[in-house]
Chains A and B, each alone.
Chain A
Amino acid sequence: MRTLPSPSGRAQHSQTFWMMRKNNIEILFKTHYTRLYRLAASLLYDDDEARDAVSEVFSRLIAKNISLLPDTAETYLLTAVRNQCRNMIERKQVHERFLRLLSEKATEPQADDNDNLRMAELMQYVEEHLTPMNQQVFQLRFLQEMTCQEVANALGISRMTVHNHLRESIEKIRSFFISIQ
């Protein structure tokens, strides 16, 4: 006849299981965090939101008691983070998505290796064709999400000059896309 473990035995077993689970999650977390964070930050452009997205994916592993195999863990986690980012972008108002240039398309599963290669090509093109001032104005306006007036104040130039640099940068970036079509 099978005997049931004593309450203290059950508690001990549960505690051991819990600690093993924690160790497994810790290894996964520490192994993959940097890559997952960078992916989320490249899709959401926001440090806090990126950290939340990655954290949410790991929380879900725990809540749903999902175990990952070493061979497939990275692919699973990258897909999960991408999906989490898409959900976060979808929940935003159309104005915010537009203002921050958040793209749902970028979160599509196939948008990985191809995109990475093309982004590297674009940055090469930017280095060669955009002036340092073009690049600086573009970064402050779109990456730092400053207004044109704030960029003008930061760089000690007029608002019109900021506008001209942005237009010039966008025209050149458009030329890149036309050249690869």
Chain B
Amino acid sequence: MSNMKTERQPIERLLEVQEHPKQLTDEQLQQALDDPQMHELVEQMAFAKRAFKVKELQSVEPDVEGEWEIFAAKNFNVGSKTQNGNPFRKKAASLTFGRACSRPEEQMQTSLSSRLVASFIGILLISGMAFAAIHIARKANSQQAQTIQTEQPASTKPSATQPADIVKTDTAATVQPVVFDNVPLEKMLTEIAAYYHAEVSFLNDDTRQLRFHFVWKREDGLAHAIEKLNRFESLSVRLDENKIIVE
């Protein structure tokens, strides 16, 4: 019986501290964890949690294509040529294109302009080929051919129709992600906000014309979309009640 009590003590202690962590300071908690019995118990529980998680993950299939889209947009953007000439290095400015480079430090990168133009043309050609492929595929599926353009004047009004430079990745009945390809932030957020009946506010006008490649999954919700947008280094977006605020 007393053995059972001794066994239970660290378990009760663990449950107590887990439920009320603020009872202990960092130092006190560290001291508690340094106790060999508690340390062993915590490691065993961590292992058990991991075992449950591993089992759960066996049926989880991540969206590899979507993750690649996001990764490629962040790491293989046209503007990712940096001042030291490394075309692969990640940089905040990598998310801006040509005329969208409204920040003074970007405008000063004149020595790179010719390379940027060459890269930009390259990407445009590739984008053109991709759009053409999508266009052909769509045409094959439907008699209603749709014109796809890469450049559209930005609009601040929420539009009921899909902008021409927004390419849906599929025409299947299920909700498919929307891919914004080289679309100004203002236009992109206006579209997203309209869907969730939210407002958009730009604290800095320079950010309105930043262009991004962004995959928007509408079913994920507004908070998740904002969290994904914040992964762009040059962007800080927050949600204040029903208002999307771009800092």
When A63-B88, A142-B49, A167-B8 are in contact, do A30 and B64 touch as well, CB less than 8 Å?
yes
Q: Are B76 and A95 in contact (CB under 8 A)?
A: no
Residues of B within 8 A of A25 (CB): 75-76
A94 to B44, CA, bound (A): 17
Q: In whole Å, how far is B220's beta carbon from the nearest beta carbon of chain A?
A: 11
Q: Are B26 and A138 in contact (CB under 8 A)?
A: no
When A15-B119, A167-B15 are in contact, do A29 and B71 touch as well, CB less than 8 Å?
yes
A98 to B119, CA, bound (A): 48
Residues of B within 8 A of A171 (CB): 7-8, 11
Q: Are B19 and A147 in contact (CB under 8 A)?
A: yes
B56 at the interface (CB under 8 A from A): yes
Q: Given A12, A52, A103, which contacts B46 in the complex, CB threshold below 8 Å?
A: A103
Give residues 60-86 of B contacting A (CB, 8 Å): 60-62, 64-65, 67-68, 70-72, 74-76, 86
Q: Are B88 and A122 in contact (CB under 8 A)?
A: no
A34 at the interface (CB under 8 A from B): yes
Q: Are A59 and B75 in contact (CB under 8 A)?
A: yes
Residues of A within 8 A of B61 (CB): 34
Q: Given B57, B70, B76, which contacts A41 in the complex, CB threshold below 8 Å?
A: B57
Please report the total number of A residues contacting B with Cβ < 8 Å: 64
B29 at the interface (CB under 8 A from A): yes
> Interface on chain A toward B: helix, strand, loop, or mixed SS?
helix
* A 93-127 binary contact with B (CB < 8 Å = 1; else 0): 11100110111011000000001101110110010
Q: Are B114 and A7 in contact (CB under 8 A)?
A: yes
Q: Are A106 and B89 in contact (CB under 8 A)?
A: no
Q: Are B119 and A94 in contact (CB under 8 A)?
A: no
Q: Given B29, B68, B70, B89, which contacts A30 in the complex, CB threshold below 8 Å?
A: B68
Residues of B within 8 A of A29 (CB): 64, 67-68, 71
Give residues 67-98 of A contacting B (CB, 8 Å): 93-95, 98
B53 at the interface (CB under 8 A from A): yes
Q: Are A167 and B115 in contact (CB under 8 A)?
A: no
A62 to B91, CA, bound (A): 13
* A 117-143 binary contact with B (CB < 8 Å = 1; else 0): 011101100100000000000110011
Residues of A within 8 A of B57 (CB): 38, 41-42
A30 to B62, CA, bound (A): 11
Q: Are B29 and A95 in contact (CB under 8 A)?
A: yes
B122 at the interface (CB under 8 A from A): yes
Q: Given A94, A174, A177, which contacts B29 in the complex, CB threshold below 8 Å?
A: A94
Q: In whole Å, how far is A40's beta carbon from the nearest beta carbon of chain B?
A: 10
Residues of A within 8 A of B75 (CB): 25, 58-59, 62
Q: Given A33, A65, A94, A102, which contacts B64 in the complex, CB threshold below 8 Å?
A: A33
Q: Given A14, A21, A142, which contacts B45 in the complex, CB threshold below 8 Å?
A: A142
List 19 additional contacts besides A41-B53, A63-B86, A102-B46; criterion CB under 8 Å.
A26-B72, A51-B62, A51-B67, A54-B67, A58-B71, A58-B75, A62-B75, A98-B18, A106-B50, A116-B54, A119-B55, A120-B51, A122-B51, A126-B48, A142-B45, A147-B19, A171-B7, A173-B48, A177-B44
Using a CB–CB distance below 8 Å, which chain B residues touch chain A?
7-8, 11-12, 14-15, 17-19, 21, 26, 29-30, 33, 41-58, 60-62, 64-65, 67-68, 70-72, 74-76, 86-90, 114-115, 118-119, 122, 126, 227, 231
Closest 6 CB pairs of A and B: A103-B46, A119-B51, A11-B118, A62-B88, A101-B46, A38-B57
Between A and B, 27 residue pairs with Cβ closer than 8 Å are: A7-B114, A11-B115, A11-B118, A11-B119, A18-B88, A21-B88, A25-B76, A38-B57, A43-B50, A51-B62, A55-B74, A58-B71, A59-B71, A63-B86, A93-B26, A94-B33, A98-B29, A103-B47, A106-B46, A115-B50, A118-B47, A120-B51, A122-B51, A143-B56, A148-B19, A166-B15, A171-B11
